[in-house]
Amino acid sequence: MTDVKTILEGFPFLKDRDNDDYDYYGAKRIIIDNVVLPAFYTFNDPTPVYTLKIDSTNGIRVTILDANENQIGDPYTDIVKAYDYVGNILKGDVVFSGDLKAITGSDRNSLVTVPTKDTNGREFHRLLLSHTDDDEIYLAKSSYLYWLESTLAYEANPNDFMTAWYWVDSHPAFWSRYKEGSNDWSMNNNSNVWVGVTAKDTGETVIMLETGAAIEPARTSHYHDLRLDVYAPTYEEAFVKLAALVHKFFDIDGSERENVSYEKSKLELLLDERMKEANIVPLDVESFLADDHTP
């Protein structure tokens, strides 16, 4: 696995992203083309993209162009009708070009609000979105890239609670699908961290945390990883300990680190003993889920 610093060296422009002269579209293209996501991450099949080209020379004319700039049908005088034709009939996504400001009064080209009327003649504003496969890919890859930046921040200051909390929350080991067969991903985990409160015999409060990585190959649920169980006097201390364990056992692509030294807890040893006595073979979750277990 390539180290984080080496990966980030390929994207030196990130340090300038808060500057007014930041080349957003140029950076977006580089991120789409060069960031490598964890191998398990998948996207939907590509959706065709059509351009709505606006010409206001002699009134509003909206021309639909395909990816090869071939014109589709006659121009429209209503951008909403052109937009709906692409979405409902051509089943595609849209991007806008030309004199969009003549319709919306704004130079924004991804979020368009236009006045229109319903079937009863009542006026309202219609929101037209431009969101393509490239946008979806960019959001996923830029989120991962920013998490890699946070990894350097965490490694530089692993005892800072807030840094540890956000780092664990977006760690790829926990990324999951909302349902099987979907490419709609959750890249946040901390809602899956179980929090318990107990007390020692002396009365001192103990915070308990439990969590686990997403289960391959579906990644629609998480297991309870006993190696990540932590106990501490405060939630902040517990989470710092949890982050240290996540860093110990999981690599930056969400996979298990190899050859990690680990001494099993008494509970894990007891479970192993009981399973051996009952002649129970530890479940290979990935193989089990991949097989057909229909009665």
Give tens-digit pLDDT for 74-132.
Answer: 999 988 899 999 999 999 999 999 888 887 766 666 567 776 777 777 777 778 888 99
pLDDT digits (tens, 9 = 90+) for 4-59: 999 999 999 999 999 999 999 999 999 999 999 999 999 999 999 999 999 999 88
More confident residue, 109 or 231: 231
Arithmetic mean of pLDDT, 234-261: 96
More confident residue, 235 or 274: 235
58 with 190, same domain: the answer is: no
191 with 100, same domain: the answer is: no
Boundary of a domain, candidates 77, 99, 131: 131
Q: For residue 193, what are its two tokens?
A: 């961290």
* Helix pair angle (161-169, 133-156), 10° resolution: 150
pLDDT value of residue 106: 66
Separation between Cα atoms, residue 293 and residue 198, nearest integer Å: 40
Helix (H) or strand (E) holding 50: strand 49-55
**pTM recorded for the entire structure:** 0.84
Q: For residue 238, what are its two tokens?
A: 């517990």
Separation between Cα atoms, residue 70 and residue 161, nearest integer Å: 55
123-162 b/e (C-beta count within 10 Å ≥ 16 → b): eeeeebebebbebbbbebbbbbbebbebbeebeeeeebee
pLDDT digits (tens, 9 = 90+) for 138-192: 999 999 999 999 999 999 999 999 999 999 999 999 999 999 989 999 999 998 9
> Does some domain include residue 267?
yes
113 with 236, same domain: the answer is: no
Helix (H) or strand (E) holding 54: strand 49-55
In the chain, the number of structural domains is 2
C-alpha to C-alpha distances, 284 to 8, 14, 41, 68, 247, nearest whole angstrom: 35, 41, 21, 49, 23
149 with 265, same domain: the answer is: yes
Which residues fall within 8 angstroms of residue 226, CB to CB, at 6 or more apart? 265, 267, 268
Three-state DSSP class for 185?
A: strand
Phi, psi of 112 (to 5 degrees): -115, 125
Q: Which of 54-68, 178-192, 261-275 has the lowest mean pLDDT?
A: 261-275
> Does some domain include residue 244?
yes
- Residue 190 is given by DSSP the state G
Single-letter amino acid, residue 252: I
Helix (H) or strand (E) holding 207: strand 205-210
Arithmetic mean of pLDDT, 255-278: 83
Domain that holds residue 107: 49-131
> Does some domain include residue 209?
yes
**Contact in structure between 216 and 255 (CB atoms under 8 Å):** no
CB atoms within 10 A of CB 63: 19
Boundary of a domain, candidates 78, 113, 131: 131
